[in-house]
Structure 1
């Protein structure tokens, strides 16, 4: 391992489509170069097309999930939210361990900003994790509404901005395209 001499912190954010897709694309490119990529998905418990695709890229690219399948956050009762918080903390601790022990070249924390926005993680948690990133690991964070302190700590921030979207015409999420 240790294919990266100097790793940076990248953030894909914004209200537009493509944050996870961009992170997956970066991971696929790295896996094609025999780098080890770990993607930890937050707030995603249901089946998605990327799970099947990435299995074909093992051992170079692996996706990890720590949550059981459940409804959207805003539909959960307090007990379900507490259970989710424990699962999110387990995923966060896994990410900290991956960085500490340099288990991959690239760590993607997909939709971690959603966990932050729903108060399942704190801004301090994310900043601590960013601070603990080893020099030779690339860290990619995705999700909406990134706090300024986190943006300032990152090396690259890309905002996905919707100009036009077919959802506005009532098109629902499509298998193979949105999930």
Structure 2
């Protein structure tokens, strides 16, 4: 593969994870090995179910759902930070050991901003990633360092959303 680049999918609109999942499927369809690491999410969703069925994609995520950050106890925050760091190290090890071509860090922006992971490790990855590794970062508000090193920045902006009209998330559409 040629030089790997850094992608950021950000903003308050729907579709950041979907874009990263689609890119992962495209990469696997071209024979690339992908590690798809999710932060802050543990509920099952359609994209995770299908990604797990693709041999060239490895999904790493929490098994326990801690809910929204503003509802987490201090114990929850410590526990999820420990899980995130364990999962991040496992993903980085897998990327190197199996020479994976793409690493997706889904919702890394929120985990980084809430200090629910080793920020230094993520910054080091962004600044010093392997030259041929494609790195994909998603989340609402990317850290300045993510934007500085990114080659692609796609902002997905909400103009209208059914949730504003009290329509709840629908399986197969929002998750």
Task: Settle same-fold status: TM greater than 0.5.
Answer: yes
CA distance in 2, matches of 1:25, 1:61: 12
- The secondary structure found in structure 1 opposite 2:35 is strand
CA distance in 2, matches of 1:107, 1:40: 8
Unaligned runs of 5+ in 1: none
Unaligned runs of 5+ in 2: none
Q: Please, which moves more after superposition, 37-46 or 113-122?
A: 113-122
Distance 1:166 1:17, change over 3 A: same
Match of 2:169 in 1: 173
Over the aligned positions, Cα root-mean-square deviation in angstroms equals 1.6
Q: Please, which moves more after superposition, 167-176 or 47-56?
A: 47-56
Deviation at 1:122, TM superposition (A): 5.4
Residue 6 of structure 2 corresponds to residue 9 of structure 1: yes
Match of 1:155 in 2: 151
Q: 2:19 aligns with which of 2, 14, 22?
A: 22
TM-score of the aligned structures, taking structure 2 as reference length? 0.92
CA distance in 2, matches of 1:126, 1:60: 23
CA distance in 1, matches of 2:161, 2:67: 24
CA distance in 2, matches of 1:169, 1:68: 29
Residue 121 of structure 2 corresponds to residue 109 of structure 1: no
Q: How many residues align?
A: 175
CA distance in 2, matches of 1:85, 1:171: 32
CA distance in 1, matches of 2:140, 2:52: 27
- The secondary structure found in structure 2 opposite 1:109 is strand
Match of 2:43 in 1: 46
Residue 41 of structure 2 corresponds to residue 63 of structure 1: no
Distance 1:134 1:102, change over 3 A: farther
TM-score of the aligned structures, taking structure 1 as reference length? 0.90
Deviation at 1:77, TM superposition (A): 1.2
- Deviations along 1:80-112, whole A, 9 cap, x unmatched? 111111001112222332344453111101001
CA distance in 1, matches of 2:56, 2:123: 27
Structure 1 contact 99–134 (Cα < 8 Å) conserved: no
Match of 1:125 in 2: 121
